[in-house]
């Protein structure tokens, strides 16, 4: 080939490459404005999208995606950003679960759930009379498990990262160091928590100030910025060893906690086998143990499959009756059998075996309420404050990630000098297996405390494919309601063919076997309630159920929704 032809070809190749690389990228990635940002509830994007609990975290994700980062790169950046802008549940002091589906069609899950410290033991929350003292498993230093988030993000980065890690964590460092304006909801949350922050901390954290927080006040977290810089420089060693580890252990000593230097050094995040199953032609990819979420969702969807729920209609008495009865049975199984698979033998294959699952519905009579006392005994107990985000990138990589410090603002303990909140995840164990706790709930041996064991979770990050292509990314916080919220959202999308907006924002209900009640949100349809009450069910109104983040791909576009129940916000391009 002569030089001229070669140059022509090269120019053409270069032009085509540029078009391919830049053709579906925005001209100029727009930097995140920490002081001036809208909350975007609902939007449609052509290429890539993020939905998370905080607008700034979604914006960070969008910024990474616009620079050519993958959904996995963006997820790491969003996780760290949430640790700064959403102290309620975003974290480096907690744990979570990540479900990834790559453009090559592979599914992976990462378990970065917290673990019980090495000196934890089965009866550590029992008083001298043998009664469970839940104030210790719920608040303060003794409530914390060994955090997993930093190790989880490192495992994710080593497996999937394409951008420089330093760039992924930098937005979080900037937000912590230079500050950002808080939302009205965050201001209220911090004001509500002030007494606890003062009570459980020996050093005043950045979250406490003399005057009440107001909407649009600036929150600067200098200690947290330094911790994030140590992670930026040394990776997970910047957290589990050295200065940060020293600060955590000192904090434990000051407050009577038991996380040791060795516990931190020993923590490892794990890749687990994803749960993958078919539901009426859709491929559902979700999280397995030590989260119960995926297994319980698989059981429930398998149980409803033989019934024409799409003909019953959304929140008709037939649909609610069926869904409550499958929830009751699946939650009973969860209670009885599920725990950390590294410690207990969970009969996973049996629990999702079609014959077994269907046999669980043998005593179901349509349009009749059964009673939990006749189904099986046990307990489900979860705290509510967790957070979820969903991401799709321009190539069709998808990430569904749910992360938590358990209760709102976790244990309320902020590690002195390190600026981050520790989880109160120990409360997800059964403090006293086999005996009702002070709320009248029961626990079982499968989820009893043991050193190094992971507490059972309900987190249910989920991905859906249709005809081999990305269809939906779904997940939510909400403690024990996580599983039923994801279940309802899936049924809303796959059976009732709803828009993502409706699937997220329509009122939800929840049954968890014990107590034998249907919890409903305040705006639940009164007529539906009346009709279902007539079947023999008891209802109880409660606060919001879940804060679901959904991305839905229909007609080549991504419908992105941030739940109206919070500051949840979407971004994309």
Binding residues for ligand GLY (CB under 6 A)? 382-383, 386, 404, 406, 428, 457-459, 479, 482
Strand partners, 540: 519
DSSP structure string for 510-528? E--SSS--EEEETTS-HHH
For the bound state, the minimum distance from the C-beta of residue 431 to ligand GLY, rounded and expressed in Å, comes to 14
Helices (H), 23-70: 55-66
Which residue do the tokens 């409550």 mark?
A: 324
Residue closer to ligand GLY (CB basis): 317 or 412: 412
Residue closer to ligand GLY (CB basis): 470 or 475: 475
Q: Which helix (H) or strand (E) holds 107?
A: strand 107-111
Span between the terminal Cα atoms of the chain, in Å: 41
Angle at 212 between CA 476 and CA 36, to 5 degrees: 60
For the bound state, the minimum distance from the C-beta of residue 404 to ligand GLY, rounded and expressed in Å, comes to 5
- Which pairing describes strands 518-521 and 539-542: parallel, antiparallel, or unpaired? parallel
Which residue do the tokens 């959202």 mark?
A: 489
Q: Are 556 and 345 in contact (CB under 8 A)?
A: no
Residue closer to ligand GLY (CB basis): 318 or 382: 382
For the bound state, the minimum distance from the C-beta of residue 522 to ligand GLY, rounded and expressed in Å, comes to 23
Structure-token pair, residue 544? 């919001």
Residue closer to ligand GLY (CB basis): 292 or 370: 292
- The residues, any chain, with a CB within 8 Å of residue 130's CB and separated by 6 or more, are 432
For the bound state, the minimum distance from the C-beta of residue 198 to ligand GLY, rounded and expressed in Å, comes to 24
For the bound state, the minimum distance from the C-beta of residue 362 to ligand GLY, rounded and expressed in Å, comes to 29
354 is catalytic: no
DSSP structure string for 276-318? EEEETTEEEEE--TTBSHHHHHHHHHHHHTTS-HHHH-TT-HH
Residue closer to ligand GLY (CB basis): 514 or 570: 514
Q: In whole angstroms, how far apart are CA 218 and each of 85, 226, 410? A: 11, 18, 22
| Catalytic residue chosen out of the listed positions 102, 386, 387, 548 | 386
Residue closer to ligand GLY (CB basis): 153 or 482: 482
For the bound state, the minimum distance from the C-beta of residue 147 to ligand GLY, rounded and expressed in Å, comes to 13
Chain position whose Cβ is nearest to ligand GLY: 457
Angle at 36 between CA 30 and CA 37, to 5 degrees: 70
Q: Which residues are catalytic?
A: 386
């Amino acid at each position: 080939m002569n030089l001229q032809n070669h140059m022509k070809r090269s120019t053409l190749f270069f032009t085509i490459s540029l078009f391919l690389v830049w053709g579906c990228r925005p001209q100029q990635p727009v930097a995140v404005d920490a002081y001036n940002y809208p909350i975007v509830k609902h939007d449609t994007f052509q290429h890539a999208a993020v939905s998370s609990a905080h607008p700034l975290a979604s914006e960070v994700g969008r910024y990474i995606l616009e620079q050519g980062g993958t959904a996995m790169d963006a997820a790491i950046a969003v996780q760290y950003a949430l640790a700064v802008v959403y102290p309620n549940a975003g974290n480096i002091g907690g744990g979570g679960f990540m479900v990834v589906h790559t453009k090559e069609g592979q599914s992976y899950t990462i378990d970065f759930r917290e673990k019980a410290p090495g000196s934890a033991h089965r009866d550590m929350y029992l008083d001298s009379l043998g009664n469970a003292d839940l104030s210790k498993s719920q608040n303060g230093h003794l409530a914390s498990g060994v955090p997993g988030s930093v190790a989880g993000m490192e495992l994710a980065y080593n497996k999937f990262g394409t951008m420089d890690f330093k760039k992924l964590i930098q937005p979080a460092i900037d937000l912590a160091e230079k500050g950002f304006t808080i939302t009205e909801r965050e201001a209220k949350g911090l004001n509500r928590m002030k007494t606890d922050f003062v009570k459980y901390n020996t050093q005043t954290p950045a979250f406490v100030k003399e005057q009440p927080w107001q909407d649009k006040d600036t929150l600067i977290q200098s200690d947290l910025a330094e911790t994030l810089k140590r992670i930026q420089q040394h990776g997970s060693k910047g957290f589990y060893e050295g200065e940060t580890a020293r600060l955590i252990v000192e904090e434990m000593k000051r407050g009577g906690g038991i996380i040791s230097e060795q516990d931190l050094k020993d923590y490892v995040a794990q890749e687990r086998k994803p749960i993958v199953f078919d539901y009426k032609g859709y491929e559902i990819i979700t999280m397995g143990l030590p989260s119960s979420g995926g297994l319980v969702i698989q059981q429930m969807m398998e149980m409803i499959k033989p019934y024409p729920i799409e003909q019953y209609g959304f929140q008709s008495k037939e649909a609610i009756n069926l869904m409550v009865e499958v929830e009751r049975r699946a939650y009973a199984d969860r209670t009885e059998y599920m725990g950390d698979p590294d410690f207990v033998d969970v009969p996973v294959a049996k629990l999702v075996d079609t014959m077994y699952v269907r046999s669980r519905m043998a005593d179901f009579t349509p349009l009749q309420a059964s009673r939990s006392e006749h189904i099986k005994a046990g307990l489900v107990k979860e705290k509510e404050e967790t957070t979820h985000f969903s991401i799709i990138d321009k190539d069709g990589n998808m990430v569904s990630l749910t992360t938590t410090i358990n209760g709102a603002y976790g244990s309320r303990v902020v590690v002195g000098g390190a600026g981050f909140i520790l989880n109160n995840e120990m409360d997800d164990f059964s403090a006293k297996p086999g005996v009702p706790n002070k709320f009248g709930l029961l626990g079982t041996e499968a989820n009893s405390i043991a050193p190094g064991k992971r507490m059972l979770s309900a987190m249910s990050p989920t991905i859906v494919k249709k005809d081999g292509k990305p269809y939906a990314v779904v997940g939510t916080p909400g403690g024990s309601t996580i599983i039923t919220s994801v279940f309802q959202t899936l049924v809303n999308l796959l059976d009732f063919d709803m828009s993502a907006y409706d699937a997220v924002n329509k009122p939800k209900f929840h049954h968890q076997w014990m107590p034998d009640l249907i919890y409903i949100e305040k705006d639940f349809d009164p007529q539906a309630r009346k009709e279902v009450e007539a079947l023999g069910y008891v209802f109880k109104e409660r606060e919001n159920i879940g804060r679901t983040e959904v991305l839905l791909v229909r007609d080549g576009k991504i419908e992105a929704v941030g739940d109206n129940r919070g500051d949840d916000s979407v971004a994309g391009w």
